[in-house]
Amino acid sequence: MNRAPLPTYDRPIADVKAPVSPSAERHKGEIRIADVVKIYGSETAKIRAVDNCTFDVPAGKITVVVGPSGCGKTTLLNAIAGFHSITSGAIYLDDTLLCGPGRLSAEPGPDRIVVFQNGALFPWKTIIENVAFGPMMQGRLSKKQAFEKGRAMLAEAGLRDLESNYPGEISSGMRRRVEITRALMNDPKVLLLDEPYRALDSLTKSVMHEALLETFDRNQVTIFFITHDLEEAIFLGHRVVIMTTRPCRPKKILTVDIPHPRDYSVLTTKRFREYLDETVAAVHEEAIKAFAAGERER
């Protein structure tokens, strides 16, 4: 078994412009993924989805994970969220063990909230009921308090006048923003975003990116973001983790040294293009491997 060398962090993590108090940074959810392995399937037909995967998701930063589709990125996210077990290794959140030896599956909870690829606002609840759901279920707020907080947070996110609509009545871009607001209602340490903008057209996407960055600048929550859109990755991320194709492990970790808050003018800068070239080269190699492997499997 040839083990990949552990990634080395040759560049410092970019400084964030917005001031963050050291204590806030300490407690806003650093995830450490240590030597995680995930094997699917039975004894006879094993699929090694994740192998010897080790990297950090620094607190209060946006970490974007990119890789060919089906490479095991979502498996990793599901392990952090607590939807799936891991086979070995460990995942920590701020020094507490989420899953690891003796306890292979994490418990899902409001400190790590997932925003799903296809959106998971409850279609049978109005926007405000959706947003108030978390604190009410946890018994942290009464219905009245939760609704009040929800209204305030919706207004802050520029989503006024939607509260009594049902999710089916608003645009898909709006739904994603509501879903992020629903997550932030619980003061999570980490947001786990699984290709949340995949289904959106590119114009809506650019609006969503700026909205997400604005939300991030306001909340400084740790963000773990999965995508296979490289421009999106570099535009959003403080750190971009490029994954190998199955089994999934970091191939290259890139620190994007463009200061936040960013806006769309960044896209045309020389620096951005350089980062993009660097990423494209790495990802393309993996995409070819993934394609070849896919051909063989069939």
Partner 1 sequence: MKELESTLAAGEIGASLGEAPAGRPAGDADRAGRVEVALYRLRQWLSSPRPYLMLLGFGLFFAFWYLTVEVWKLTRFAQMPGPTTVISEWLSPDPTYGLSIYSAEYYQHIWVSWRRVSIAFLLATVTGVPLGLFLGWSQRFKEYVFPVFELLRPIPPLAWVPLAIIMFQGSETPIVFLTFLASFYATTLNTMLGVESIDVSFVRAAYCLGARRRQVFWHVVVPGAMPFIFTGLQISVGVAWFSLVAGEMVSGQYGLGYLINTSYTMVQYPTMVIGMITLGVVGYATSAAVRIFGNYLMQWRARELAMGGEK
Residues binding partner 1 (CB under 8 A): 81-83, 108-110, 112-114, 116, 118-120, 122-126, 133-134, 137-138, 164-169, 172, 182-183, 186
d(CA 167, CA 71): 31
Nearest CA to 50 out of 22, 73, 67 is that of 73
């590119």: which residue's tokens? 202
d(CA 29, CA 25): 8
| Shortest distance (Å) from residue 288 CB to partner 1 | 31
Q: Is 65 exposed, middle or buried (0-12, 13-18, 19+ CB in 10 A)?
A: buried
| Shortest distance (Å) from residue 268 CB to partner 1 | 34
| Shortest distance (Å) from residue 175 CB to partner 1 | 10
Helices 202-219 & 172-184 angle (0-180, nearest 10): 20
d(CA 87, CA 107): 16
Nearer to partner 1, 111 or 156 (CB): 111
Nearest CA to 28 out of 132, 137, 112, 149 is that of 112
| Shortest distance (Å) from residue 118 CB to partner 1 | 7
Q: For residue 227, what are the β-bridge partners? A: 66
Nearest CA to 130 out of 103, 153, 96, 107 is that of 153
Nearer to partner 1, 123 or 259 (CB): 123
Nearer to partner 1, 35 or 187 (CB): 187
Nearer to partner 1, 70 or 108 (CB): 108
Provide the Cα torsion 185, 191, 196, 197; round to 10°: 90
| Shortest distance (Å) from residue 117 CB to partner 1 | 8
| Shortest distance (Å) from residue 30 CB to partner 1 | 19
Nearer to partner 1, 127 or 233 (CB): 127
**Amino acid type, 240:** V
Nearer to partner 1, 129 or 286 (CB): 129
Nearer to partner 1, 166 or 267 (CB): 166
Helix, strand or coil for residue 194?
strand
| Shortest distance (Å) from residue 152 CB to partner 1 | 18
